[in-house]
Chain A
């Protein structure tokens, strides 16, 4: 959990993924579309990957990846991200966190 928090606070937009996960690919694409450049951490390539995955589940992320943090705060998984994006909140959050400018 500490590691998760630590990594999440390092950049305005942070996404935890797995290299094989295609939904993660979708969410990444969405962020790029919005002009953000989130930090991507692939759990399957991380030595602490398993504990981190467990920590993400504890946070309520289901499925565990993709897990999105904006401004150090846990936002959610793909479902939450899409919902927030549709009502415009996602963009606003990114702007607030200075991940994007407009």
Chain B
């Protein structure tokens, strides 16, 4: 359905007015109130649905178009408009589109309800129907062009001119013309009413069907959510604060991480530009410090997330598959990273070489220590849970044992958060120490290299996931 732009939209008013012979600048609705006690008959919406170009308002009929009336600019430009139609646009951006055709010239009678008793007929056309107007207008517009007679046009435009000063297009008398056509008009109108009602029903049916399918979709989504929830991805939709905290932890972190990655990309690009354009050390330092601070940010986010959902971090599901390959305690291994960097950072001074070497060794040692602690934890947890329940004591004893076991296991699980935290601490300290050892420019190159490495891992993941399978 095409919505015609209103020639009489707020901005276009004057332009339109000039382009149409015999037509006045749009009359604001407020002016249209009948001063002579005429009755205002709201134009039924259903009628308007199939308001096909037979508005045929005689000039004698005053029209009060309340809300939006779509004005068919195409027809206006064809100059058949001025004849019989009273078109009042709303003071502001009403889109007005309807075609006006001289009533006498058409096979179809005007759709308008003509009130002959009074001097003026007023038609208010609700806005919702404008689209249909446009639609039906389009279909019928062209043939109508030929129908208007010049004589009628002139006469009507004269009358229209007369009415312009009062801004009320009220016409004195119902013409004989309209009386004569009334029966025919009535029949036509009734037919079109039926048509409109039918279309209305069809639209309603379509809408209801749409609603139904949306409802189905909603149910499906809810089921998926339920399934995902069961699989341990805690997604709480309840208002319970503590539960929703941990429930949303995983998803919230994923969102935050995605945002962090975007920002990281931006910052790295900025850094890359600066490095390639041989920016000064001072400028570089600012950008490098910014990147370092941004790394601090992700560690802070991870720290919060580990309180909410440590297993999500540990699982590495927030990373891409290839990255997950190298996962160590919920993140990357600093020692590996340094090994990759050394070759790219040359030339290094003797002191720097020593420093980087020591750093590599320290991080390796710390990683080993933490790894061993994790192993000890796993072992301890396994022992706790595997303590035999084949006690000779009664069932109550077993239950007590079970509860005790669980309590102990819970305590051990709680220490996981500490391990993740220290692993991130290690990563953060390693990055910062590296930054201290290197010059600004070297740091810049190092940060770029680190980012590129992870970017490639992520790209590899994408390729892998998209690979064609037999």
Which residues of A does B touch, CB under 8 Å? 20-23, 25-27, 29-30, 33-34, 63, 78-79, 82-83, 85-88, 91
Contacts and interface: CB of A to CB of B under 8 A. Distances in A.
The 5 A-B pairs of least Cβ separation, nearest first, read A26-B373, A30-B369, A86-B429, A22-B377, A29-B369
A22 B366 contact: no
Contacts of B365: 30, 33-34, 85
A67 to B, nearest CB: 14
A20 B429 CA distance: 27
Contacts of B433: 86-87
B363 interface: yes
B415 interface: yes
Contact of B373 (A20, A23, A85, A87): A23
Q: Is the interface of A mostly helix, strand, loop or mixed?
A: helix
Interface of B: 358-359, 362-363, 365-366, 368-370, 372-374, 376-377, 380, 411-412, 415, 418-419, 421-422, 425-426, 429-430, 433, 436
Nearest to A32: B369
Given A22-B380, A86-B366, A86-B429, A78 B372 contact: no
A37 B418 CA distance: 24
A82 B415 contact: no
A59 B166 CA distance: 91
Contacts of B426: 82, 86
B363 A29 contact: no
A88 B436 CA distance: 12
A83 to B, nearest CB: 5
Given A20-B380, A63-B418, A86 B359 contact: yes
A20 B376 CA distance: 10
B422 A79 contact: yes
A85 B422 contact: no
B373 A83 contact: no
Contacts of A83: 425, 429
